[in-house]
Structure 1
Amino acid sequence: MNSRLVVTFTTLIVFLIAALAVPLGLAYASHRTNRLLLDRRADATRFAELADQAARDGDYAGLTAEITRYADLYGAAVRVRDRDGSIHITAGRFEADDREATRLALSGRTTDDLPTMTPFGPPSVLLAEPAGRDAQLSGVVLLQAPTDRARLEVSLVWGALAAGALIALAYAALAARRLARWILRPVTELDRTTQAIAQGRLDARAHPGAGPSELRRLEERFNAMADAVAGAMERQRAFVADASHELRTPLTVLGLRLENLEPHLRGEGAAEHAEAMAELDRLALLVEDLLSLARVEAGAELDGKVVELGPRLKAWEEVYAAKGVRLVTDIAEMSVVPEAAARIADIALDNAQKFVPKGGTVTVTLTDGVLRVADDGPGLSEEERAEALGRFWRSGAHANVPGSGLGLAIAAELAKACGATLALLPAAPHGLVVELSLPGATQP
């Protein structure tokens, strides 16, 4: 947009400069042409008077000498014709076709205009002046004058105008760039701020400064809107965190009371008691996941710590052994990753041990900063993979598997917060791959 504004401003300035420079150049060319006409017509008039006197006296010697000196001095050509059109005197190199000019002069008309002088021509002009008066015309004087000097002066003036126009255009283009930058500074600032907010920096704000007052007001209102949205999101997160935290105590108490009721139950109530305890455990897990999600969104659990991934994965070996699932890790012993990445690996491994059948295999690799957790379980369809990172999403085929539906949503928030990229990919021939691109991961 900045370039389009500069082009628009520059185009308008070009038209403005052209509207000033072109008329000035044409006006000077017309002025210089008129001055040339007046100067040379005065000479032609004087020669016409001398020619009329010479025709009356029958002596052209003085006129011939005068015309020759003039032609030599000014580089012009002069020709004198009588009333019949016959040539009496010619001085200088006369090249113009003077028939039309002679006819007009013999009819009593003098030359009253010339072609406009430009740097490109004409190289000479022709003036005709009748000798004598009215019906007593004795002939005509034809003056062919060079225009070198006049064209040079017009060229100098036009060159000065062109140079001035180019200098003015350069300064105007510079001013247009600064003006466009000044106008668009609030827009640029808003673009930077919206990009930062889209990347998760909800505290980013525009800094009102230079720019049109309307756009500065827009920046202020954008900041107010961002503050309101951030405040609403913070209140929502605080509510979820507080509600989840407050629910933990009554759920714990409820669990203890249900456990204390178990000795007093009759045989037919044991099954109902077991289902109630299972639902209570599921509710406790949901509350714990909600609290974790709220903390992740608030950035409370991203302190920049790094952990060794190898020892973290060894803790899962017993879990997988108890499930009859094989866990294969291709991780360097001292591989270090951010704490958020280790938590994402825990979430992926927890999901895999739920869905991979007995005898299956789960493989964890870390190569070139990319962490992959691949299993050979049932996997997910393309549509399910596109929705699996949403909150509370659960596959219809896994409705009876324990879980809150928040694990992958927490993983997605952790990945976004630490600048990583999380993707769910199909495994061959079947299964699921959780792939995390970690620019900050290092391998010795």
Structure 2
Amino acid sequence: MGLRVRVVLVVLSLLTIAALAVPLALSLADRRTAALAEERGRQLAALAASAAMPDTPLHRLVERYHDVYGEGILVVDSDGRPLAAGGLSVEDPAVADAAERALVDAPDVRWTRIWPWDRREVPVAAGVRREGELAGAVVIAVDTSIAARGIAIGWMWVAVGCLALLILALLVARALTRWVLRPVNGLERAVADMTEGVAGPPADVAGPPELRHFSSAFNTMAQVVRGSLDRQRRLVADASHQLRNPLAAVRLRADNLEDHVAEAGRPTYVSMTAELDRLENLLQQLLRLARAEEVSGSRMAGLSPTAASSTDLEEVVTERIAFWRPVADQQNQRLRFVSDRPGLAVPLARHDVEQLLDVALDNAIRYAGPDTTITASTECTDDMVDLIVSDDGAGLPDEDLSRAAGRFWRGRDDRSGTGLGLAIAGEITTGHGGATAVERAPEGGLLIRYRLPTTSTPT
């Protein structure tokens, strides 16, 4: 936007400068042309007056003028025959035409404007009168090169002045656009921060009055929105935490009732305990999500400290695969780890990496289906490392891939999940400068990709 505003201002400045410079340059050329015409007109009149005297030595007069001004001169009688010449000949059509006009007392031809590139000679003539009768004519060839050089110098100064004005206009346009757009840039940054959930500094209240009022209103709105989001996070965390104790009491009483439930009520009791399990899992996931959001929000606001240590990916992946292998064996699923870059480490706490892997492996084991292969792998991209868990199962339909990482989203056949696992993983990766993506695996199933910063140089 700033560039477009500057371009418009510069174009307007150019048009304004051109509107002033072009008439000024033409006026300068016209004045110099008129000055030369007036000067040569006086000299021509003086020459004609001298030639009208009977005893004037015409050859000496012609030679002196030719030597002083370097211009051709010709004196002819009333019949057009040359009497004295210096650099001009009556054979020249332009000279002959000027002499003929003077001998018939025709009006002088109006001078045309001299341009800086002109190097022409302009023949002008005046009649020689003796006792009121035309006795001849004096013709001179005016050299316009000196006048053209003066016009060129004048135009050069006009161009220098225009360039100075253009530079001044550029500086003024730059200062003006910076002043006007400073609050707009601040608003753009603040909107981007709000979009990403960053509690950044308020927008600058500067610039024109309209933008100052708008920036102040936006800052007020941003404070209200951030306060509302913080209250929502605290509500989720507090509600989840406060519900744990009553839920634990309900669980204890339900466990105590197990030996006293009649056979007819056993299905209801089993269903109730299953729902209690699901509710406990949901509360635990909500607490994890609230903590992950707090970490990611602090990092985006620039408040989280740099990790003091790093976690070896290969070690953690190997351990978590060993942990989940008994569960996978029940469905004849194969777990494997593939990495051609040993020694990769990430600046995350070990329990965060474990949680990321548990979310991905749990989803793969639960939804890939029996007789499938689940692969954990790592890939390096510049200063980032991708931790990938993929399978060759049925995968998800295309319309579900974009929603899989959303909160509380579950597959059509999922009755036990909370829909928060990938949301928590996304907050963890975002909180450490990474990202989470759900894609279709090359082998046909589902692929979960965690892009994380790396603290080691791969070998």
Alignment TM class, shorter chain as reference: 0.7 to 0.9
Q: Following TM superposition, by how much is the alpha carbon of 1:441 offset from its aligned partner in structure 2, in angstroms?
A: 5.8
Aligned to 2:189: 192
Matched, 1:243 2:239: yes
Matched, 1:152 2:149: yes
Aligned to 1:19: 19
1:277 to 273, 278, 281: 273
Per-residue CA shift, 1:44-76, capped at 9, x if unaligned? 21222233343xxxx5x5233323322222122
Matched, 1:220 2:219: no
Q: SS at the partner of 2:57? A: helix
Q: Map 1:90-101 to 2 at 5 A.
A: 90-94=85-89, 95=92, 97-101=94-98
Cα pair distance change 1:277/1:92, threshold 3 Å: same
Distance of 1:130 and 1:364 partners within structure 2: 110
Partner amino acid for 2:357?
A
Uncovered stretches (5+) of structure 2, i.e. residues with no partner: none
Distance of 2:379 and 2:139 partners within structure 1: 99
Cα pair distance change 1:143/1:333, threshold 3 Å: closer
- Asked if structure 2 preserves the Cα contact closer than 8 Å seen for 1:185 and 1:210, the reply is yes
Cα pair distance change 1:146/1:96, threshold 3 Å: farther
Aligned to 2:429: 415
Aligned to 1:29: 29
Task: Answer with 295-304 or 415-424: which moved more.
Answer: 295-304
Aligned residue pair count: 436
Q: Map 1:292-307 to 2 at 5 A.
A: 292-299=288-295, 304=307, 306-307=310-311
Q: Aligned Cα RMSD in Å?
A: 3.1
Per-residue CA shift, 1:71-130, capped at 9, x if unaligned? 222122222333333333323334561344334333434537322222222522222222
Partner amino acid for 1:424?
V
2:355 to 343, 352, 360: 343
Distance of 1:85 and 1:333 partners within structure 2: 109
Q: SS at the partner of 2:94? A: coil
Q: Following TM superposition, by how much is the alpha carbon of 1:185 offset from its aligned partner in structure 2, in angstroms?
A: 2.7
Aligned to 1:399: 414
Distance of 1:50 and 1:75 partners within structure 2: 19
Cα pair distance change 1:157/1:426, threshold 3 Å: closer
Aligned to 1:232: 228
- Asked if structure 2 preserves the Cα contact closer than 8 Å seen for 1:128 and 1:142, the reply is yes
Distance of 2:370 and 2:355 partners within structure 1: 24
Cα pair distance change 1:106/1:335, threshold 3 Å: closer
Distance of 2:197 and 2:268 partners within structure 1: 48
Per-residue CA shift, 1:348-386, capped at 9, x if unaligned? 122233234455443322343221222344322222222
Distance of 2:276 and 2:394 partners within structure 1: 28
- Asked if structure 1 preserves the Cα contact closer than 8 Å seen for 2:344 and 2:454, the reply is no
Q: Following TM superposition, by how much is the alpha carbon of 1:272 offset from its aligned partner in structure 2, in angstroms?
A: 0.9
1:83 to 63, 66, 78: 78
Distance of 2:253 and 2:328 partners within structure 1: 32
- Asked if structure 2 preserves the Cα contact closer than 8 Å seen for 1:205 and 1:226, the reply is no
Q: SS at the partner of 1:137? A: strand
Cα pair distance change 1:328/1:149, threshold 3 Å: closer
Q: Map 1:112-261 to 2 at 5 A.
A: 113-132=110-129, 136-198=133-195, 200-208=196-204, 211-261=207-257
1:373 to 389, 392, 412: 389
- Asked if structure 1 preserves the Cα contact closer than 8 Å seen for 2:310 and 2:455, the reply is no
Q: Following TM superposition, by how much is the alpha carbon of 1:149 offset from its aligned partner in structure 2, in angstroms?
A: 2.5
1:382 to 389, 398, 422: 398
Distance of 2:24 and 2:292 partners within structure 1: 72
Q: Following TM superposition, by how much is the alpha carbon of 1:207 offset from its aligned partner in structure 2, in angstroms?
A: 4.5
Distance of 1:208 and 1:134 partners within structure 2: 90
- Asked if structure 1 preserves the Cα contact closer than 8 Å seen for 2:74 and 2:88, the reply is no
Partner amino acid for 2:99?
T
Per-residue CA shift, 1:184-209, capped at 9, x if unaligned? 333333333434444x3521134416
Distance of 2:153 and 2:441 partners within structure 1: 80
Q: Following TM superposition, by how much is the alpha carbon of 1:323 offset from its aligned partner in structure 2, in angstroms?
A: 6.0
- Asked if structure 2 preserves the Cα contact closer than 8 Å seen for 1:96 and 1:144, the reply is no
Structure-2-length-normalised TM-score: 0.83
Cα pair distance change 1:341/1:267, threshold 3 Å: same
Partner amino acid for 2:224?
A
- Asked if structure 2 preserves the Cα contact closer than 8 Å seen for 1:362 and 1:374, the reply is yes
Partner amino acid for 1:353?
I
Distance of 1:18 and 1:110 partners within structure 2: 37
Distance of 1:218 and 1:160 partners within structure 2: 46
Q: SS at the partner of 1:247? A: helix
Aligned to 1:316: 324
Distance of 1:139 and 1:226 partners within structure 2: 96
Task: Answer with 417-426 or 298-307: which moved more.
Answer: 298-307
Q: SS at the partner of 1:295? A: helix
- Asked if structure 2 preserves the Cα contact closer than 8 Å seen for 1:127 and 1:142, the reply is yes
